[in-house]
Amino acid sequence: MKYIVENNINLIEEVKNTLYFIVNEEKIVNKLRDSFKKYGEDIDKYINKDLKNFFKFIEKFKTRNKIPMDRLKIFFNDISEVHEKTHCIASIFINNITEEELIEGRNRIHNLDSMELKELAMKEILCQDDYLRDDFPDEDDLSNLDAEKEFMPYLIERCTLDSESKWWLTVISQNPKEYLSELIDMIINSIDVFKEAFKVMEKEVEKFIYDLRDLIKENPKFISDSTGIKIFDQWEDDIYIFPSIIRFNSVSFLSTISPVFNNKRREYMYFGWKFYELLSDSIGNDNEEKILIDRLKCLSDKSKFNIIKMLKKKSMFGQEIAEALSLTTATVSYHMNALIVAKLVYMEKVDNKIFYSVDKDTIKEFLRVLNKELN
Angle at CA 129, nearest 5°, toward 347 and 33?
65
User: pLDDT tens track of the chain, all 375 residues?
Assistant: 788 899 999 999 999 999 999 999 998 888 877 766 655 557 777 788 889 999 999 999 999 999 999 999 999 998 876 555 568 899 888 988 889 999 999 999 999 998 989 988 888 888 765 444 444 445 555 666 777 888 888 888 777 778 888 899 999 999 999 999 999 999 999 999 999 999 999 999 999 999 999 999 998 878 877 776 665 545 667 788 999 999 888 888 777 778 888 777 677 889 999 888 876 655 444 456 767 777 888 888 888 899 999 998 888 887 788 888 887 666 777 788 778 777 888 877 666 567 888 888 888 888 888 888 887
Quick one: pLDDT at residue 135? 45
Last residue of a domain, one of 182, 200, 218: 200
b/e for 57-95, b at 16 or more Cβ within 10 A? bbebbeeebebeeeebbbbbbbbbeebbbbbbbbbbbbb
Q: What is the pLDDT of residue 230?
A: 64
Q: Residue 21 burial by CB count (10 A; 0-12/13-18/19+): exposed, middle or buried?
A: buried
Per-residue confidence (pLDDT) for residue 132, from 0 to 100: 42
pLDDT at 85 (0 to 100): 58
Regarding whether 153 and 36 lie in a shared domain, the answer is yes
Same domain (yes/no): 171, 295: no
318 Rama class: left (phi>0) / alpha (psi -120 to 50) / beta: alpha
Q: Which of 166, 184, 200 is the last residue of a domain?
A: 200
- Distance separating alpha carbons of residues 51 and 57, to the nearest angstrom: 10
255 lies in a domain? no
Residues 65 and 163 in one domain: yes
Could you tell me if 78 and 178 lie in one domain?
Answer: yes
Residues 165 and 300 occupy one common structural domain: no
pLDDT of residue 285: 43
What is the domain extent for residue 193? 9-200
Which of these three, 174, 200, 226, is where a domain ends?
A: 200
Same domain, residue pair 326 and 193: no
Q: What is the pLDDT of residue 370?
A: 84
| Distance, CA of 119 to CA of 113 (rounded, Å) | 10
- C-alpha–C-alpha distance, residues 366 and 375, integer Å: 14
* Number of domains comprising the chain: 2
CATH code of residue 321: 1.10.10.10
Q: What is the pTM of this model?
A: 0.78
Within a domain: residue 248? no
